[in-house]
Amino acid sequence: MRALPDTTALRAPRALDDLLLYRLWNATRSSRAMATRIVEGGFGITHREWGMIGMLAQVGEIRPSALAEQLQLDRVRTSRGLRSLFEKRLIERRQNADDGREVHVQLSDAGQQLFEELFPRIAGLNVDLLEGLDAEHHHILLQCLYQLESRGNALNAQRAVPEKADRRAGGTRHHWSRQVDICLI
């Protein structure tokens, strides 16, 4: 395990290990890999589909656009995930009787059963991860995560980052905005 930078390095990063987002990514990487193996290898769904199933178990029936907002996903990815869950018979769709264009989704009986089998496995993984912290630090961790989430939401609302990801045009796979001179020898 790498050395922990001092707190001044977080405020004036000079190296990758000093970046808060990099440290958070590293902290979640190994545990996320275990969760992915559980959902994909054990249950045949993707990590994104698991997020949708978990949210649907929590909120019940919802419009796809509201689900996308809850999960902070774009509508295209949400639509693809819902289509896959529908094909796997894990969700049901219902058209609004008053407005036939409006659709609501909810877990099917099979989707609810999958959630009830899968949630304890993921919850157990979370409990195992917390065993790496002293009990007194649990509240501090949750408080810090809440504050980071709130600050991230505030920065997004302020449009602190003006650039936009252009996923509709293929993102960085099809477009490299910097001109690079390549010298072939």
Please report which helix (H) or strand (E) contains residue 58, including its range.
Answer: helix 47-59
pLDDT in 10s for each residue of the chain, 185 residues:
566 667 888 888 988 988 999 989 988 998 899 999 999 999 999 999 999 999 999 999 999 999 999 998 999 999 999 999 999 999 999 987 777 678 999 999 999 999 999 999 999 999 999 998 998 999 999 999 999 999 998 998 998 888 887 666 665 665 556 655 566 66
Rounded Cα gap, residues 113 and 104, in angstroms:
20
Shortest CA distance to 106 belongs to which of 61, 59, 49, 48?
Answer: 61
Helix axes 109-130, 20-36, angle to 10 degrees: 130
Beta bridge partners of 103: 95
60-73: b (≥16 Cβ within 10 Å) or e:
eebebeebbebbeb
| Residue 89 contacts residue 83 (beta carbons within 8 Å) | no
